[in-house]
Structure formats: C-alpha cells, structure tokens
Amino acid sequence: MQTSDLRAMLLLVQWDLMRMWRRRIFVLMRITWFAVQVSIFGLALTAMVRFRGIVSAQLDYYHFYLLGVYTSMLFSISVSNAYEVAEEFEEGIIEYHLTLPIKRRVLSLGRAVGGGLAAFIFTLPMYAIVLMLLGGGPPEAIAVSLAASAVFSVGIVGLVLSLVLSVKSGDATDILFGIIDAVIVRLSTIFYPAVVLSRVAPYYYAALVNPLSHLVDLARTFFFFEEYRVLAIASPVTMAAYLLGLAAGLVSLAIYIVERKLEGGGWR
Amino acid sequence: MGVAVKIAGFTKKFGNVVAVNNLNLEIYEGEMFGLLGPNGSGKSTTLLTIATVYKPTSGDIYVFGHSVTKEDDIVRGYVGIAFQEPKAMWVDTPYELLLWHAKIVGYSSSGAKQVVREVMEKLELWEHRNKQFYQLSGGTRKKLEIAKVLIQRPKLAIFDEPTAQVDVLTKHALWDVVRAMRDEGSTIIVATNDMFEAERICERIAIIYKGELRALGTVKELKDRVPGGDVVEVSFEGSKERVEKVLSKLDGMGKLILQNDRIVAYLNRGEERAAEIVSTLLEAGVRVKRIMVQEPTLDDVFFYFTGARLGES
C-alpha cells in the first residue's frame, strides 16, 4: 500500500495549510496590522512624497506604496516559514516526514509548494484590501500579480527550506532570517523606485537582482503600465522569467538538499 | 526464513563521535528482534538508518534486499517506525495527525477514517482524539506513536523503546499489539533498555554497547553462553560432606556452595544437568527433597558481555 506522488504532494500541501489554519488568530492580527499600515501610515507617507517629472500625475505614491507593502508582507510571511520549519525540526516532525513512504523529491516539493501556497493564501485578504484601495484593476493585472505572487512565495519557501535544513540551528535560523527579512526588503524597489536608488550604486544593483523588485515592479507595470514602465527595473517578460527561474532554482536547491544532504538529528 | 534486514559493516559517525562501529547482523523475516543496550549505545542510530533518516558513514543496510543508501525510496515503502519520542506539534490533535498519516501511507479518505477509528479504539485513544498534543499523558503519546505503525501495517515495523514511561498494564497491552502485528506477517524490531521487555517479546536479541555488537542470539542461547550462569539448588537429607564429594566429581560443576541442607551449584545448561545431579545423589544414597533450577537473568547476560550493568551504563 503506497500513495501516488501527486496525492502525497497534495497531502503535504494540506499539511502546511492545516498549520496555517491553526495560526488563524495570528493571521487575523497580521491582517489588522496591515489594514492600519496602509490606511494610516500609507496615507501619511503619501502626503509627504510626490513623484516629480518622470511620470504622469495619475500615478501617486500611495498606489506605488500599496503594491510595495503587500509584496513586503508576502515576503515576510513566506520567510516566517523558516521559524515553522525550525520548530518542526526541533519537535521531530521533519524526522517523521523523512520516514514516510514517499519520495524525498515529493516531500521537498510538497513542503515548498505547501509552504508557499499557505503564505500566499495568508496574504490574500491583504491583497483584497490593496485592490480595494487601488479602486480595482484590470483583470490581467490581478491575474498576473496573483500568479507571480504564488510563484514568488513558493520560491522563497524553497530558499527557506534549503537554509533552515542546512544550518540546523534554531538560533542561527532566528538571526539569519531576521537579517534576510530586514535587509532584502530595503534593498529592493518595494518603497523606492529604481531611479531613486540609482543614485546609490550598491543599493541600485542589489535592487536589480532582488526578486522582490521583480515581483513588485511586475505587478505595478500591469496595474499602471503607461505610467510605471519608465520606472520598472526590467520588461514584464524579463521580470516574469526571472521570478519563474528563481522559483524553479530555489525549489530545485531544496529538493537537492532534502534528497542528498538532509539527515535527521543534529538540531539541538 | 528470508532475511528482512541485513546490516553489513554499518558505521555511523557524527563528527568525531562514532555512534555505531562496523555493525554486522541479519534480522529474519517474521521474527521479533530486539536491540538491547543502554541509552547512547547506538540502537536508535541503527534504527533511524534502517528507516532512512540517517545515511551510513560507511557500510550499508539492506531492507528486503534494497540498499538504504541507493534505494531509500523503495526501503521506505517497507518500513514503519514508532519513534522513541512521539513526534507532533503541541497544537496537533491525535485524530487529525493519524488521519493525515493514514492518507499519506496510502489509504483512501474513507479507508483512512475507518482504520484510524479502529486503531484508536484498539489502543484506547478514541476518547483523546480531539485533545491537543500537549494535553496528552506520556503513555497516551506513546500509544499515538504506535498507532501510526499499526495504521501503516508495514512489512518491517520498528519500535524504539515502545514502553518507556508507560505503566505496567499499558506495557502488556502494547506488547500484545506488537505480537499481533508479527502474527499478521510483519517483521518486528524493538529497541529497548528494559531487560524484562526484551525477554518477554523478543525471539532474538543483539546486545549493543558503545556502538558495537557484543552478542547475538536467542535469549536462551545468550544465557547459556554465560559460563556457570545457571544456578541449581538442591535440598537434601544426609551428610553435607558426602554430597559435596559426590557432586564435585561431576564434570563442569563449577562453583559449589554448601548451606546447611542445601547445596548450590553454578554451571552451564542447568536444566539439562539437574537430572544428572539428582540421579548421582540418589545412587550415592542421598535423599533429594527438592531441586530448583534458575537461569541467569538477562541483566547477568548483559553484564557478562559488556562488563556493565544496564542500569549503571
């Protein structure tokens, strides 16, 4: 008696979604925090910031900010999977998963997709708030931004799995992902357009390769194409290809680590 | 009888620490096999390597002919394990955990619900089904771990200290469950540091100490290998000196201790020699009132092969 690869993967996805459901109070708190962030802080910030010269008057900073703060939230929630995986390792859940009668490839892929989808679903209410504050958007913009967000989230969880299962330390996980969460968001076009960053060379080049920049600028390009295209870091095709390639690469890395390197124990 | 598990030159190191050193043994299909040793002896490392959680540093382990290093996907299809420490997050509920487990090991959704209920009722877990993991007692947590294996019904079932921290009644119930699994066709490996458990449920035992195999055999074989391990106590009527003189002439009598109307002899294969002792004494005109044969305990066996008492090591 053995389950099929597809069913095993779906069950692993279900595992992560069940985890998220158990954290529903935490989810609700984050959504509330997000609503306050975009309604009070976002509006206050917009009152102080204006685009000058390079874009039309129809694009204001508030719209720019909304998609940025959603992307940063999606990134943070995806990264927070690291703490979940670390806790699972400490409680022996990862060892238990390693003994299941499924392929390691399926295990790693299922956890990456499950963790990514859980993070993505977690942020859907926030996306809805953003959409409402944007006054809606073209269907293709909504479809592309949602699809790109899901792909991005799966890729980030792939990275998280690779790093957490390699460092095998709760303390190292806390430090590493605390830094990643804080630094990566800043070194991107989440809150500042690339043209502004170009005045500070290291920031600019970091933003160019940063997947957050690609995700947020892809979404902005589809939502405010005419106004935003001069600010985006690359063409939509390039950004989409970058996100897909990165997600595939990071998930492949997670598969490699789980299949070839990962052993139980050694955490504490 | 076919070989279920072949451990061939298996060594596992964690950094500079050698957890298991060049272990070689075979476990046969359908047997109840015990790994006996203190904590840190390498039992769990060996079991977790069989379950493909660890990778051998050198050597290999074959499960029904498949290598854990090269064919781990296939090996996992044969193996189910009940961990020493139950694996769950504090918010998990037994029912949800077991239902998910049943599905991932291959049951359909309806089949999973049915088997989970059956197993939970069998192990008296049903009333705890909706409690959170942190609310469960140590014994209930152990049962939850064993329930996973019962649901899976693997060809090779591994139990790592299945009755540690469990009350006596539950221990007996769990042993019955493990025996029933064997009767239904599974090969069973039990790791334990409980002599009584090893003696009660295992047909063959490997004594592992400091990562090395010290002895292997049935409980009886191991006991018989302890020189002078059997104790034969004879109560008699008659001259002590005469009894001592007669018995000391017998081959392989070992140490003799005279106590009033009793004589205690330490020898091998005591149950076989008892008849010889009685007939020799009768021939010498000594009236034998009572004879008692005691085997060495498994603790004595462990001491003989390792130089350490299990409780002390």
Give, in order, the Cα–Cα distances in Å from A52 to each of A55, A61, A201, A234. Answer: 7, 11, 21, 21
Phi-psi region for residue B22, left (φ > 0), alpha (ψ -120 to 50) or beta? Answer: left
Structural tokens at position A261: 């390197």
Residue A157: what pLDDT?
A: 93
Q: Which residues of B touch A2 (CB under 8 A)?
A: 77, 105-106
Is it the case that residue A57 has pLDDT exceeding 60? no
Residue A224: what pLDDT?
A: 81
- Answer whether residue B303 is part of any domain: no
Residue A114: what pLDDT?
A: 93
- Answer whether residue B99 is part of any domain: yes
ipTM of the complex: 0.84
Distance CA A156, CA A150 (A): 10
Average pLDDT over residues A61-89: 87
Residue B145: what pLDDT?
A: 92
Q: Answer with the residue of higher pLDDT: A268 or A183.
A: A183
Distance CA A245, CA A219 (A): 17
Distance CA B39, CA B313 (A): 8
Q: Are residues B66 and B134 in the same domain?
A: yes
Q: Are residues B210 and B238 in the same domain?
A: no
Give A138 to chain B, closest Cα distance, Å. Answer: 40
Q: Which residues pair with B288 in a beta bridge?
A: B236
Give B303 to chain A, closest Cα distance, Å. Answer: 30
Q: Name the least confident of A14-23, A117-126, B143-152.
A: A14-23
List chain B pLDDT tens, one digit each, 313 residues: 799 999 999 999 988 899 999 999 999 999 999 999 888 899 999 999 999 999 999 999 999 999 999 999 999 999 999 998 888 777 789 999 999 999 999 999 999 999 999 999 999 999 999 998 888 888 889 999 999 999 999 999 999 998 887 888 888 888 999 999 999 999 999 998 887 888 889 999 999 999 999 999 998 888 888 777 777 888 888 888 888 888 888 877 777 777 778 888 878 778 788 888 888 888 888 888 888 888 777 777 887 788 776 665 5
Listed in sequence order, the residues at least 6 apart from A63 whose beta carbon sits closer than 8 Å to its beta carbon are A134, A223, A224
Q: Answer with the residue of higher pLDDT: B46 or A167.
A: B46
One-character DSSP codes across A202-255: HHHHHHHH-HHHHHHHHHHHHHSHHHHTTTSSS-HHHHHHHHHHHHHHHHHHHH
Q: Are residues B157 and B278 in the same domain?
A: no
Average pLDDT over residues A212-228: 86
Q: Are residues B153 and B278 in the same domain?
A: no
Q: Are residues B104 and B233 in the same domain?
A: no
Residue A267: what pLDDT?
A: 46
Which CATH number characterizes residue B208's domain?
3.40.50.300
* Residue B270 belongs to domain spanning: 227-295
- Answer whether residue B91 is part of any domain: yes
Q: Which residue among B48, B55, B104 sits closest to A11, beta carbon to beta carbon?
A: B104
Give, in order, the Cα–Cα distances in Å from B196 to each of A148, B34, B84, B199. Answer: 60, 12, 18, 5
Is it the case that residue A268 has pLDDT exceeding 50? no
Residue A54: what pLDDT?
A: 60
Q: Are residues B166 and B149 in the same domain?
A: yes
Q: Name the least confident of A10-19, A66-75, B230-239.
A: B230-239
Q: Are residues B87 and B186 in the same domain?
A: yes
Chain B interface residues (partner A, CB cutoff 8 A): 14, 48, 51-55, 72-73, 76-77, 79-81, 83, 85, 87-91, 96, 100, 103-107, 152-154
Q: Answer with the residue of higher pLDDT: A93 or B248.
A: A93
Is it the case that residue A139 has pLDDT exceeding 90? yes
A191-210 pLDDT tens trace: 888 877 888 878 888 989 99
Residue that terminates a domain, selected from B173, B200, B223:
B223
Average pLDDT, rounded, for chain A: 87
- Answer whether residue B51 is part of any domain: yes
Which CATH number characterizes residue B266's domain?
3.30.70.100
CB B273 within 8 Å of CB B261: no
Return the closest-CA partner of residue A166 out of A208, A108, A231, A223: A108
Residue A136: what pLDDT?
A: 87
CB B182 within 8 Å of CB B32: yes
Q: What is the DSSP letter of B295?
A: P
Residue that terminates a domain, selected from B223, B252, B271:
B223
- CB within 8 Å: A92 and B85: yes
Give A164 to chain B, closest Cα distance, Å. Answer: 17
Is it the case that residue A101 has pLDDT exceeding 90? yes
What band does A225 get if pLDDT is binned at 50, 70 and 90? low
Structural tokens at position A193: 């357009």
Phi, psi of B98 (to 5 degrees): -70, -35
Q: Which residues of A touch B106 (CB under 8 A)?
A: 1-3, 101
How many folded domains does chain B comprise? 2
Is it the case that residue A78 has pLDDT exceeding 80? yes
Residue A52: what pLDDT?
A: 66
Residue B297: exposure state from Cβ atoms within 10 A (0-12, 13-18, ≥19): middle
Q: Answer with the residue of higher pLDDT: B281 or A1.
A: B281
Q: Are residues B77 and B148 in the same domain?
A: yes
Distance CA B21, CA A172 (A): 31
